[in-house]
A and B are shown apart, each in its own frame.
Chain A
Amino acid sequence: MTSTDTTTETRRVAVITGAGRGIGAAIGAGLAADGWRVALLDRCADDPELPYPLATRDDLDAAVAAAVDAAGDDSAVVGLVADVRDQDGLDISVRDVVERWGRVDAGIAAAGVIAGGPPAWATDDVVWNAMIDVNLTGVWRLAKATIPAMLAAPEPRQGRFVAIASTAGMDGLPQLGAYTASKHGVIGLVKSLAAELGERGVTANAVCPGSTRTAMLDASAAIYDLASADEFAAHRALRRILEPDEIATAVAWLCSRRPPPA
């Protein structure tokens, strides 16, 4: 047995929501390239409460194929249809992963949606509830599904919980009050998880992407009546739109662990 992550004995397992496309799919491919086994979860259906198309089954199949290519091993990747609005579906998926690979080492909450337009006080109840339910409660549901599995590992543990929040989790954005509130909530939840889990060997961290080239950014541009999501670039520190794999790199680092002593 070696100390690398690619041996059968030590290959770690990640469960990733919102993995059908965008940042979630990039995280799946990135972790797979790093030697992880990855379960890519996605709802694979539109939501009548949201004004733009969500990922499809074809998207999830493509994400699985990309992760398989990255892993060089088609047994290291599985795609599962599961919605973060459905606790039972997440629980069943995690049980499937544990039965398949025997462990869960990381929960990555990448499922997120956006809607807005009116000011916060005029936000439609349906939009408000959808933002909170998917973006915030969905993260909590993944924590409920994955953290007990991580705590089931023998000590010393190196479990990882990472939530994709947003720069909207740190700043107030106009016309996106519900989205902004949900992302601020994600950061609060992650900080509480960190306080609860630190002594148990499981870390919890949040990543806040700026404008990233995804379908959700196109939906954001539509909210602001922009001709193209590229118009966001001028307002970013780097003056460009980020690629999903740049966010995946930050997540992979947060999921990394120190190598064992030689």
Chain B
Amino acid sequence: MAVLPEAASGMTGAVVPVDGGMTATLTGRSAAAT
């Protein structure tokens, strides 16, 4: 869980994942969602 300020006025260079998820095995192959 992240604690975020109400405005992002000071944030730069950030990489913000939204449900980064994970790699998994799909249809018998190693695959991952995009």
Contact = CB atoms under 8 A, between A and B. Distances in A.
Interface string A202-232: 0111111111000011001000111000011
A208 B19 CA distance: 8
Given A174-B29, A176-B34, A220-B33, A210 B11 contact: no
A258 B7 contact: yes
SS of A interface (majority): mixed
Interface in A232-256: 232, 234-238, 242, 246-247, 250, 253-256
Interface residues of B, number: 27
Q: Which of A179, A204, A236, A242 gathers the greatest number of chain B CB atoms within 10 Å?
A: A236
A134 B32 CA distance: 21
A247 B16 CA distance: 10
A167 B33 CA distance: 8
B34 A208 contact: no
Given A173-B32, A217-B34, A234-B24, A165 B15 contact: yes
B29 A250 contact: no
B34 A114 contact: yes
Interface in B1-34: 4, 6-9, 11-24, 26-27, 29-34
A69 B13 CA distance: 32
Contacts of B16: 205-208, 250, 254
17 contacts: A169-B15, A175-B31, A176-B34, A194-B12, A194-B13, A195-B13, A203-B12, A204-B13, A208-B18, A235-B32, A238-B21, A253-B4, A253-B7, A256-B6, A256-B8, A256-B9, A258-B9
